[in-house]
């Protein structure tokens, strides 16, 4: 087995270790530690299940043995596509125990995305739930294995049908579990928001990721008395690590998995489990603010509501304390690394007006103009960052690496921010052309590519438009060829492509032509900006 690596320069790595950011822990070793300290503490609640730390570890070990007995080899990558069910945790800790490398897909992903992750990660396995939200993932697994034959093993949580199910894995008696990982190894591959083209894979090490969620748990003041509600899909980096389910388990807190983030599903769980903290994207926070005043469920246990993934506007932010009676924490993070938080004891103005400051003193932040020079303090510029939990390279993607990282290892976030005198960041917008639809990032380019595959589409440009509820919605400007299709038909066709549903354009506008300059075609970026500006002026 050749473990995947994420390379920080040796002197940086040495500094991060000496400063105690990287402590040599792994996912397996920290779970072991909790089992020793608090074996019978309920760690995971979801559906009917209430698992103690001992049970979680025992289940993970059984899965680890079963997967190795099935034929996986340590080092193999396994795409994991599970909703918010307890098995998400037993499966991923099982993978870590077997030294297999999870690749996290969202429940919304479909054939095109999963096949892309499987190919890019060279995955040998795919673990799905039988069913979620009315969708049968076994059908998707059939399609993916037909398209990517290297995916040899599918395991289903629930009834497996043609595939083995988690409950009927071989017992693996006699299978010797491998030694624990080197903490500097890549533990898993996370999915990028995908600002250009298809999503990139983000290799995160035990050292760096555990530091980020351990420090996050401290910032959020988690303790064994805390109860974290995973309302957003746990495969997302935010509910996974900021502090998310892993930060909560690290702190010995209890995690509760909500099947959906809607007030109808989440409020009764908050009341029953006495939830103290949860995280939402802005549109869901708005729904909660709307539903809370008339709910019959007791939400008084809630101490902290985190909001992140997209900009939470100050007018909405101001309503959180009066309506929900808890502290708002703004979270501005990215799966590539850097996470900013407002602190729980910050003055209201900072909590309402800013997206927080970095986790770590070792997070290096640059705010540069387009020519690469630092902007005067307090002015808006492009955010670049490097530090003890920000990656230096994507997995297997030289082109993206050349664009996204500077030669001295800074990650170009694509976000445009200002810094306050206190060192807090205020997100102004972004330089890259993606749509942040309720926290889901959609690449304009990826959607344009699909639209161009339709016989009646001559050209397409996809832009974000402001949306009162979603924050941003996607709008496709289309030049038709031949007979102009109906917008609804075009959307329906997009739905058949095997893409996550959130990528289907919210709005379609037909235009006769795109502008060109005297010199020739304008850049796609300018074209999108112009279309967007003119459309908004007309409204």
Q: Which residues bind ligand J2J (CB under 6 A)?
A: 193, 237-238, 241-242, 308-311, 330-335, 339, 355, 413, 415, 427, 430, 436, 439, 441
Least distance CB 127 / ligand J2J (angstroms): 22
Task: Give how far Cα 34 sits from Cα of 22, 30, 212, 460, Å.
Answer: 18, 6, 18, 53
Comparison of 72 and 213: residue with beta carbon closer to ligand J2J: 213
Comparison of 237 and 327: residue with beta carbon closer to ligand J2J: 237
Least distance CB 536 / ligand J2J (angstroms): 20
Comparison of 28 and 436: residue with beta carbon closer to ligand J2J: 436
Comparison of 255 and 339: residue with beta carbon closer to ligand J2J: 339
Whether the Cβ atoms of residue 321 and residue 327 lie closer than 8 Å to each other: yes
Least distance CB 521 / ligand J2J (angstroms): 28
Residue 449 gets which letter from DSSP? H
Q: Which two tokens stand for residue 341?
A: 């938080």
Say what the alpha-carbon torsion angle 474, 478, 484, 490 is, to the nearest 10 degrees. Answer: -30
Region of residue 110 (phi > 0: left; psi between -120 and 50: alpha; otherwise: beta): beta
138 CB-near residues (< 8 Å, 6+ apart): 128, 130, 154, 156, 160, 161, 162, 163
- Spatial CA neighbour of 167 closest among 153, 180, 155, 184: 155
Least distance CB 18 / ligand J2J (angstroms): 26
Comparison of 75 and 193: residue with beta carbon closer to ligand J2J: 193
Least distance CB 383 / ligand J2J (angstroms): 8
Strands of 244-353 (E only): list them. Answer: 254-257, 277-280, 304-308, 327-334, 337-341
Least distance CB 262 / ligand J2J (angstroms): 20
Least distance CB 59 / ligand J2J (angstroms): 26
Comparison of 44 and 334: residue with beta carbon closer to ligand J2J: 334
Least distance CB 163 / ligand J2J (angstroms): 30
Q: Which two tokens stand for residue 206?
A: 């035990």
Q: Is the peptide bond before 466 cis (omega within 30 degrees of 0)?
A: no
Comparison of 243 and 505: residue with beta carbon closer to ligand J2J: 243
Comparison of 183 and 309: residue with beta carbon closer to ligand J2J: 309
Least distance CB 403 / ligand J2J (angstroms): 15
- Spatial CA neighbour of 433 closest among 502, 330, 515, 530: 530
Burial degree of 368 (CB within 10 A; 0-12, 13-18, 19+): middle
Residue 8 host element (H or E): none
Comparison of 145 and 226: residue with beta carbon closer to ligand J2J: 226
Whether the Cβ atoms of residue 66 and residue 91 lie closer than 8 Å to each other: no
Q: Which residue number has the CB closest to ligand J2J?
A: 333
Task: Give the position of tokens 């103009």.
Answer: 369
SS3 75: coil
Least distance CB 517 / ligand J2J (angstroms): 29
Comparison of 145 and 327: residue with beta carbon closer to ligand J2J: 327
334 CB-near residues (< 8 Å, 6+ apart): 193, 237, 413
Whether the Cβ atoms of residue 95 and residue 80 lie closer than 8 Å to each other: yes
């Amino acid at each position: 087995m050749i473990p995947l690596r994420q390379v920080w320069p040796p002197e940086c790595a040495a500094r991060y270790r000496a400063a105690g950011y990287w402590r040599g822990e792994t996912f397996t070793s920290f779970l072991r530690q909790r089992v020793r300290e608090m074996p019978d503490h309920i760690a995971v609640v979801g559906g009917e299940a209430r698992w103690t730390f001992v049970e979680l570890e025992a289940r993970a070990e059984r899965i680890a043995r079963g997967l190795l007995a099935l034929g996986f080899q340590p080092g193999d990558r396994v795409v994991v596509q599970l909703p918010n069910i307890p098995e998400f945790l037993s499966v991923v800790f099982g993978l870590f125990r077997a030294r297999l490398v999870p690749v996290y897909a969202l429940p919304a992903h479909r054939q095109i995305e999963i096949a892309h992750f499987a190919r890019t990660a060279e995955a040998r396995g795919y673990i799905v739930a039988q069913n979620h939200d009315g969708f049968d993932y076994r059908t998707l697994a059939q399609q993916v294995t037909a398209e990517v034959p290297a995916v040899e093993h599918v395991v289903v949580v629930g009834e497996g049908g043609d595939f083995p199910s988690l409950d009927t894995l071989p017992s693996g008696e006699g299978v010797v579990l491998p030694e624990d990982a080197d903490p500097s190894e890549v533990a898993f591959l996370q999915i990028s928001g995908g600002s250009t083209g298809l999503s990139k894979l983000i290799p995160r090490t035990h050292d760096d990721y555990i530091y980020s969620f351990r420090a996050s748990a401290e910032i959020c003041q988690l303790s064994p008395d805390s109860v974290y509600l995973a309302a957003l899909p746990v495969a997302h980096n935010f509910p996974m690590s900021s502090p998310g389910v892993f930060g909560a388990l690290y702190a010995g807190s209890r995690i509760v998995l909500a099947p959906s983030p809607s007030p109808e599903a989440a409020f009764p769980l908050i009341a029953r489990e006495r939830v103290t903290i949860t995280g939402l994207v802005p549109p869901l926070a708005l729904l909660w603010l709307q539903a809370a005043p008339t709910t019959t469920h007791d939400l008084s246990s809630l101490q902290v509501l985190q909001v992140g993934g997209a900009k939470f506007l100050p007018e909405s932010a101001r309503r959180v304390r009066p309506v929900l009676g808890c502290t708002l924490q703004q979270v501005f993070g990215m799966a590539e690394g850097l996470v900013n938080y407002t602190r729980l004891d910050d003055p209201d103005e900072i909590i309402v007006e800013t997206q927080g400051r970095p986790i770590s003193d070792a997070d290096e932040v640059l705010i540069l103009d387009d020519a690469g020079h630092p902007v005067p303090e307090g002015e808006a510029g492009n955010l670049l960052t490097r530090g003890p939990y920000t990656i230096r390279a994507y997995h297997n993607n030289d082109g993206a690496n050349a664009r996204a990282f500077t030669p001295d290892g800074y990650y170009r976030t694509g976000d445009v921010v200002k810094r306050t005198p206190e060192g807090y960041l205020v997100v102004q917008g972004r330089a890259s052309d993606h749509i942040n639809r309720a926290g889901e990032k959609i690449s304009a380019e990826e959607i344009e590519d699909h639209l161009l595959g339709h016989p009646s589409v001559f050209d397409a440009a996809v832009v974000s438009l402001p949306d009162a509820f979603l924050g941003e919605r996607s709008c496709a400007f289309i030049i038709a060829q031949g007979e102009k299709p109906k917008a609804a038909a075009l959307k329906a066709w997009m739905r058949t492509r095997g893409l996550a549903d959130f990528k289907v354009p919210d709005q379609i506008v037909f235009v006769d032509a795109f502008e060109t300059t005297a010199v020739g075609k304008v850049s796609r970026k300018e074209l999108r900006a112009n279309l967007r500006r003119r459309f908004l002026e007309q409204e």
